[in-house]
Amino acid sequence: MGAPPAADGRYHAIVIGSGLAGLLTALEASAAGPVLVLTKAGLEEGATGQAQGGIAAAIGPGDSPAQHLADTVAAGAGLVDEAMARILVEGAPACIRALERYGVAFDGAGAGPAFGREGAHRRARVLHARGDRTGAAIEAALAQRIADGGVAVRERALATEVVLEGGRAAGVRALDLAEGGERVFEAPAVALATGGAGAAFSHTTNPPVATADGIALAFAAGAEVADLEFCQFHPTAFRRAGAPPFLISEALRGEGAVLRDAAGRAFMADHHELADLAPRDVVARAMLAEMRAAGADHVRLDCTALDGVDPVERFPAIAAFCRAQGVDIRREPVPVAPAAHYLMGGVRTDDHGRTTVPGLYACGETAATGVHGANRLASNSLLETAVFASRAAAHIAAGGGGALPRHARAIAVAPGGSVPPDRAALQRLLWERAGIERDGAGLRAALAEARAWPVSPPEPSRDWGERRALALFAELLLTAALAREESRGAHFRTDFPERDDARWLRRQVFRRAG
């Protein structure tokens, strides 16, 4: 896809990434001037198009933003920024209306939307579209709006550097992966919308583009990053040797699916009062314990007796995937195991998506707004992405300006600059040493190993760029996880299994030394 040049050769804004965060920012910021979207793969490749469960919004009868806020705060284990989370939950109705205006048709019967339920939500408040193809419906609707014109798009363009002038963002350096060569695009506002980092782990629900590029770009530009020890592991990814990564939505458990061990016993009630709908970290650790006890690499999700719902009709994408793997979800249990799913941490931003570098914005999964604290409530991510992308776009359209003040206790980090020759080795290292359970010895050893990777000269390829971003991310994550000597939310240390509010009721914020 080609990009029509802006009339004066400069753009009003450049957006890196074409998921929900990138497309919404671009569409809404383009009201004020020409906007360019750079995206390293195809337009619709990313986590957004794969989202299944849906988008949380407290708009149903008897529900309220206050209840949604309470659930969000409880899931976040003491670290949720309540002012930001209030903006999130109160922004939900307008966000749903906006998505509908863009062409997203949420599922419902007659009077209004149908609400699904997911873990740690005390109410059914998750809107979905096309059953379990919510993300695909959102991505397709926005991509259609982009195709209607007004926003320039360059596919297969890998952003490699945020260009700075006088300490503020002034453009983006990018590799043209289709034609070869490098180009610099100029704009007074640059928005990072590069998604998550799940591809840093051996087992993940994330697409291959999720390589922490936004964190690496921001950190190199001098912006602060935060909360990188908090990576959420989704309990139920399909697990069978040779099968591609695939999420089995928590919404199935919301409709009555049950986790069982090899003997068919439903085990979650032994671990938490909410049983199968306990918070994700609790379910993932319980599954790990069951798998270890049985010497198995998976447990089973029984979807054969949902509460008055046909699993194939309600979850057509999951049913089709499982069928292709030889599993009929109406009749047999699905083999599942936890996998890296969502990064709560990222580039530190304020309520307008501003980072600590003037002119540099971040939104979507690459941002750390503080709304998730130490653990994200299910289906709050699409909501966060939409609410804060819209706010960033409005700020950019209004002329931008200012920056998030630096954090008083930010820690200066000097990364080694190493790049692993082998991506799989990095993924194994993080999965084994910084996965669902961690300890000091393992984290220390992993950090030493990561720092011993060679410092290889730059190569003009997507693979090298991604390995470089992954290596920096690994070093920052390991540093953060080693320092946090307690267990909280998604971060579980076997050598410090208790939450320690006296020492750790605070976020860890890092910036580049020098």
Q: Is 158 in the site for ligand FAD (CB under 6 A)?
A: yes
Residues between 230 and 259 with contacts to ligand SIN, criterion CB under 6 A: 247, 249-251
| Number of Cβ within a 10 Å radius of residue 408 | 6
Handedness of CA 3, 193, 88, 283 (dihedral sign): positive
Compute the distance between CA of residue 512 and CA of residue 286 in angstroms, rounded to an integer: 37
Residues 20-59 that bind ligand SIN (CB under 6 A): 52-53
Least separation, in Å, of the C-beta of 205 and ligand FAD? 4
Backbone angles phi, psi at 239, to 5 degrees: -130, 110
Q: 130 or 499: whose CB is closer to ligand FAD? A: 130
Residue 170 or 237: the one with the smaller Cβ distance to ligand SIN is 237
Half-sphere exposure (CA, 13 Å, Cβ side) for 79? Answer: 33
Neighbouring-strand partners of residue 173? 161, 184
What's at 76, amino acid-wise?
Answer: G
119 binds ligand FAD (CB under 6 A): no
Residue 50: name its binding partner from ligand SIN, ligand FAD, none (Cβ under 5 to 8 Å by kind). ligand FAD
19 binds, among ligand FAD, ligand SIN, none (CB under 5 to 8 A by kind): ligand FAD
Token pair in block for residue 351: 């309520």
Alpha-carbon dihedral 66, 69, 75, 81, rounded to 10 degrees? -140
Q: Which does 334 bind (CB under 5 to 8 A by kind): ligand SIN, ligand FAD, none?
A: none
Q: Minimal CB distance to ligand SIN: which residue?
A: 53
- Using CB under 6 A as the binding rule, whether residue 134 contacts ligand FAD is answered as yes
What percentage of the chain's residues is helix, strand, coil (to nearest 5)? 35, 20, 45
Candidates 10-18, 273-281, 345-353, 407-415; binding stretch for ligand FAD (CB under 6 A):
10-18
| Smaller CB separation from ligand SIN, 342 or 510 | 342
Which residues have a catalytic role annotated? 280
Tell me if 55 sits within 8 A of 383, measured CB to CB. Answer: yes
* CA–CA distance, 215 with 90 (Å, rounded to integer): 28
Q: Which does 268 bind (CB under 5 to 8 A by kind): ligand FAD, ligand SIN, none?
A: none
Q: How many residues bind ligand FAD (CB under 6 A)?
A: 44
Q: Which is it for strands 509-512 and 225-226: parallel, antiparallel or unpaired?
A: antiparallel
Residue 343 phi/psi, 5-degree rounding, is -100, 115
Decide which of ligand SIN, ligand FAD, none touches 45; Cβ closer than 5 to 8 Å per partner kind.
Answer: ligand FAD
Contact 211/33 with Cβ under 8 angstroms?
no
Give the separation between CA 277 and CA 274, rounded to whole angstroms: 5
Minimum CB separation of residue 409 from ligand FAD in Å reads: 27
379 binds ligand SIN (CB under 6 A): yes
Nearer CB in complex with ligand FAD: 210/478: 210
Query: Contact with ligand FAD (CB under 6 A): which of 28, 107, 213, 229?
Result: 213
* Residue 432 three-state SS: helix
Length of the chain: 514
Contact residues for ligand FAD (CB under 6 A)?
Answer: 16-22, 38-41, 45-48, 50-55, 134-135, 158-159, 193-196, 205-206, 209-210, 213, 247, 342, 364-366, 379-382, 385
Contact residues for ligand SIN (CB under 6 A)?
Answer: 52-53, 247, 249-251, 342, 378-379, 381
